[in-house]
Amino acid sequence: MLAHDLRQCVFPSPQSAECAPRIGAEVEVIPIDARSGRPVPLDAHAGVSSLSILRRAGASAGWRERRSAKANVPEIALPDGGRITFEPGGQIEISAAPNVSLSVLVGRLQDTIAAIACAAPSGVRLLSCGIDPRTPIDEVAPQLDAERYRRMLRHFDTIGPWGARMMRQTASFQVCVDGGATPERTWRVLNALAPYMVAIFANSRRYAGHETGYRSFRSHVWRSLDPKRTGLLGVQDDVVEEYLTFALDAPAFLMPGDSTASFGDCVARGAVSLDDWRLHLSTLFPEVRPRGYFELRSADAVAPEWYAAPLVFVAGLVYHRPNLEAARDVLGSPDPDLLVRAGRDGLADPVLRATAPTLCDMALEGCSALGGELVEQADLERAAEYFDRYTRQGLSPADE
């Protein structure tokens, strides 16, 4: 039953060549006090809060406030079908509605961020960085009061110190793509591409005011919090069976009883429902997560002026069918060790540095071949500017 659910509802079905692919993104920023560097609270009875900023930004833009299903806080429904939510440390997440035009998507994301920035007082900054670089974790209070997050934190605390940091202090840029005509191939290529996303867009080398020794400390935090629910997949022949095993082996901390028991243990006791299964799936954080589409979660938060770059990089490789085949040959199988090196060394790693420019060329050529209905020339040029400024020099924003 669980394997059937994965095949029918979680992994995307093959699409016909005539079906225009859509692309989406989830963008996170960390609102901070520019003087102290401390995060702005989600809500406050007096003073500046993220919620008050969003209310001001959306007052004349048709933004509609509603209650979140995950926590007892508001979220914002956007007119185009997107939404704005909060992460446990008060990070703001914009989940854009998918679009057949990458350029329309970029424009909507930038307009939303600009509206929030314009509504923010002069002393508030929206930080586009993989992790809060200045504030120690013991100075960041939880902002979401929900049993889900309390259980999650208790579980991660049994493994190490990374759970609270991940939940309250990290921010990413997630690219969401359809599976295309060959979803299994897209899945494998995306998993193999994940280390390159980490390295190319790394910008989180500092944490709590100190150098960490990582280009993307965010990537290190996510990999470390629970190895049974993070990392790379796409190495086995049957991708659904591989993901089923991955999900069954992960501790089911939202289930009643022993939080260290795996979901497979719960199944063996006959104590689960399909709703339990789907809730458990939402607690898995691999680099690529299937959700009826594929969510590539590997990039640090990206500055708004560069939003086109990660989207062009992914779309040009997986939506241009000849490139999807070529990328499979260039990338090889997903490599967990390369993922570790990407977070630590970025493009200073010789394998990543040698291959990344080739992938950028392929992505730009692929998007160009797909035409203006997918991406306009200005966004292609903006992505090329990013690759010229950073990637072809063996650098990322972490090196600035």
In this prediction, residue 45 carries a pLDDT of 76
In this prediction, residue 69 carries a pLDDT of 82
In this prediction, residue 330 carries a pLDDT of 97
Q: Is-contact 17 181, C-beta < 8 A?
A: yes
Distance of CA 385 to the CA centre of its chain: 23
Q: Is residue 3 part of a domain?
A: no
In this prediction, residue 145 carries a pLDDT of 87
Q: Is residue 160 part of a domain?
A: no
Q: Is-contact 398 348, C-beta < 8 A?
A: no
Distance of CA 4 to the CA centre of its chain: 26
DSSP H or E run through 299: strand 294-300
In this prediction, residue 17 carries a pLDDT of 80
Q: In angstroms, what CA-CA distances link 163 with 10, 39, 42, 50, 285?
A: 26, 18, 20, 23, 12
Q: Is-contact 179 13, C-beta < 8 A?
A: yes
Phi, psi for 292 (deg, rounded to 5): 90, -15
Nearest residue to 128 via CA among 105, 153, 97, 94? 94
Splitting the chain (400 residues) into consecutive groups of 10 residues, what average pLDDT does each group show? Answer: 96 90 97 94 88 95 91 92 96 97 98 97 96 96 93 96 97 97 97 98 98 98 96 96 98 90 94 94 98 98 98 98 96 98 98 98 98 97 98 97
Q: In angstroms, what CA-CA distances link 210 with 78, 89, 205, 206?
A: 38, 20, 8, 5
Amino acid at 44: A
Residue with tokens 């926590």: 71
In which region does residue 142 sit, left (phi positive, over 0), alpha (psi from -120 to 50) or beta (all else)? beta
In this prediction, residue 105 carries a pLDDT of 98
Longest CA–CA span in the chain (Å) reads 57
d(Cα 71, Cα 91) in Å, to the nearest integer?
Answer: 14
d(Cα 78, Cα 108) in Å, to the nearest integer?
Answer: 10
Q: Is residue 214 part of a domain?
A: yes
Containing domain of residue 343, as a range?
23-152+166-232+282-399
Phi, psi for 26 (deg, rounded to 5): -120, 120
Q: Is residue 273 part of a domain?
A: no
In this prediction, residue 46 carries a pLDDT of 72
Q: Is residue 133 part of a domain?
A: yes
DSSP 244-287: HHHHHHSB-TTSSS-TTSBHHHHHHTT---HHHHHHHHTT-EES
**Total residues belonging to the chain:** 400
Nearest residue to 220 via CA among 396, 340, 76, 109? 340
Own/partner pairs for 235-244, CB < 8 Å, 24+ apart? Answer: 235/191, 235/333, 235/334, 239/11, 239/184, 239/187, 239/188, 240/3, 240/6, 240/7, 240/11, 241/3, 243/6, 243/10, 243/11, 243/290, 244/2, 244/3, 244/6
Phi, psi for 290 (deg, rounded to 5): -80, 130
Nearest residue to 308 via CA among 105, 97, 93, 83? 105
Beta-bridge mates of residue 30 = 127
Domain holding 218: CATH number? Answer: 3.30.590.20
Domain tally for the chain? 1
- Angle between the N-to-C axes of helices 336-345 and 350-370, in degrees from 0 to 180, rounded to the nearest 10: 100
Nearest residue to 190 via CA among 11, 19, 47? 11
d(Cα 210, Cα 76) in Å, to the nearest integer?
Answer: 35
Q: Is residue 95 part of a domain?
A: yes
Q: Is residue 73 part of a domain?
A: yes
d(Cα 81, Cα 161) in Å, to the nearest integer?
Answer: 36
d(Cα 335, Cα 163) in Å, to the nearest integer?
Answer: 24
Q: Is residue 6 part of a domain?
A: no
CB atoms closer than 10 angstroms to residue 249: 13
